[in-house]
Amino acid sequence: YRHSYVRKFPKKIYDLKLQISLLFCVNPQAYVWEYNIYLKKNATAEAVQVTHNGKVNEIHNGVPDWVYEEEVFASNEAIWWSPQGKYLAYLQINDTGVHNIEYSLYGNDQYPTTVFIPYPKVSKHPSDFTISFSLMVVPKSVGSGDHYLRTVTWVTDERLAVQWLPRRQDSVLLQIYDYDGTNWKETSQKSKTGWVGRYFPAAPYFAANNMSFYKVMSNDKGYKHLHYVDAVSIIVLLLFLYSLFKYLYYVSNEHMGRPGQRNLYKISISTSGHLAPECLTCSLYQDRCQYNSAYFSLNASFFRMDCYGPGLPLFTLMDNRGPAKGLSLHLSKAFHVVYVSPDLWYQMMFPPNFDSSKKYPLLIQVYGGPASQNIDYVFRLEWATYLCSTEKVIIASFDGRGSGYQGDEIMHAIYGRLGTYEVEDQISAVRKFIEMGFIDKNRIGMWGWSYGGYVTSMVLGSGSGLLKCGIAVAPVAKWEYYDAVYTERYMHRPEENMESYKNSTVTDRAKNFKSVQYMLVHGTADDNVHFQQAAQIAKALVENQVDFEAMWYTDKDHGLSGKARYHLYTHLNHFLQNCFAEKK
């Protein structure tokens, strides 16, 4: 961490307002155009402009800005209709005080254009964050400091529920508010070990009394379960909610305790309590289907069983009074999942005609970000499948500390120290793979995209000597360069955690790249992980006289879509062929 960067941080991060408009319409419609909201009484009526101050990169009405869309709502919508369409709540964001990220869009003209996006990065001064609300009072427990709006849920046409997060995101407050101001209720939840929720707190699902609600939260042991919250108590139930008549339906990985599985469960509810859960998919097509979901008819008489693997995906219509006849095919598994330790899992894909007496090159696919999961039973056809089947490369993935679906203790192990345990565990996994006897220890590579590119770079820069090569696509170089909402959720602000910020940088490990083959890839128009990140890695490598390969994709964003995607995998394949070439 270097103080010279602090002066570039924004003076203000957000200014938010939640507005509630009263409508007298039948089947009303709303849309956003040029950051203003328009209403129509019906599909053929003339539109009425509701807001007039919308302006790109300054005032957003009804749509989030970049960081709210990416890190808070996971949606590009910020308007919420009441159940009968009587009221419309919408978010107004004022970004006039937010520092812009700028990058060139080259296009085909004589001069490139410059793109400006308000993008709040981690900030040193807590007073830089401001928020204001109209018609609703922000709870004092969060309103006294910097905070975020997380969810807006209409309970009835006159009752609204809003979730608030403090800037640290280690607690959440759910506020139930009646439009006439006569009824208030606040329910808070605080994490004991890290941030709240998986990435962020789950939305509430309200019961028939319009005041109690269901919500997925961590229990006392740190595992995500469905809770029922009423006026006086919180009752633990189970994971994920389909609240239909007398039953609860949920999807869980609890069967046999395997985090990579998903099955559908049913609980019968009565006034005296609930019965033990019944698994509806655990015994169906077990060789083929171990990762399942469901899509229900309106009255839950039928559901579509969605099987995603490990065999070919299968969709079967099921009668809720008994299973419907479905297509049953037996396919051999494309991979197997076994223990690395009592808590951590890995996954391997073997080439055709695999012979354990031979030595194979190994490529490790990594993501490793907080709450992520690489190890599951989902069937996929991807670049790794080609490498395994055609290039005869063993493909492995590993979920270490920091990963999700194994409880908060494992997930929160990297809280406040990104770039530590999730990196160390990947290195430990490589050693375990070598011990299996069929891995060529001189031909081991790793690759990842985004956070996976960051972990790959940190592993290569660790100086472990285990890897011959690595590929980092759109990696983070320093967390000071990334957005405030994501980074501070896991790392707090730099002034609170300066040593961890310093230890989490790729650039400080540049000298250790001399003994590995490194491929750095980035899009020049990446609005998420900015090209600045790759530029700083490249600069550090050059300053340390490290030879490396690099590929940039002009005017491409974080996804490197279109023809760039085809070019990317062809280019990476050539890089790996060189890395895994046997010495003669």
**In whole angstroms, what is the distance from residue 493 CA to residue 123 CA?**
7
d(CA 174, CA 227): 14
Residue 350 DSSP label: P
Active site positions, annotated: 450, 526, 558
CB atoms within 10 A of CB 61: 23
Give the pair of three-digit tokens for residue 518.
Answer: 């490194």
Query: What distance in Å separates the CA atoms of residue 79 and residue 93, rounded to the nearest whole number?
Result: 12
- Contact between 265 and 294 under an 8 Å Cβ cutoff? The reply is no
Would you say 416 and 441 are in contact if contact means Cβ atoms under 8 Å apart? Answer: no
Residue 98 token pair = 């937010």
Q: What angle do CA 70, 73, 77 make, to 5 degrees?
A: 100
The whole-angstrom separation of Cα 492 and Cα 504 is 13
**Range 349-352 contact pairs with CB under 8 angstroms and sequence separation of 24 or more:** 349/384, 349/385, 349/388, 349/394, 349/395, 349/396, 350/388, 350/394, 351/388, 351/389, 351/392, 351/393, 351/394, 352/389
Tokens (6 digits) for 165 = 């997060």
Report the first-to-last Cα separation within the chain, whole angstroms.
45
Q: What Rg value do the Cα atoms of the chain yield, rounded?
A: 26
β-strands 469-473, 439-449 pairing: parallel
- Whether residue 398 contacts residue 419, with contact meaning beta carbons closer than 8 Å, is answered with no
Structure tokens of 202? 């789950």
Say how many CA atoms lie within 13 Å of 339 toward its Cβ. Answer: 4
Separation between Cα atoms, residue 470 and residue 413, nearest integer Å: 25
Tell me phi and psi for residue 473, to 5 degrees.
Answer: -100, 125
Which three-class secondary structure state does DSSP give residue 361? Answer: strand
**Residues in contact with 453: Cβ distance below 8 Å, sequence separation at least 6, in sequence order:** 471, 472, 473, 474, 475, 476, 521
CA–CA separation, 526 and 547 (whole Å): 25
153 Cβ partners below 8 Å, 6+ apart?
A: 80, 160, 161, 162, 203, 204, 206
What residues contact residue 488 under an 8 Å CB cut-off, 6+ apart?
122, 167, 168, 169
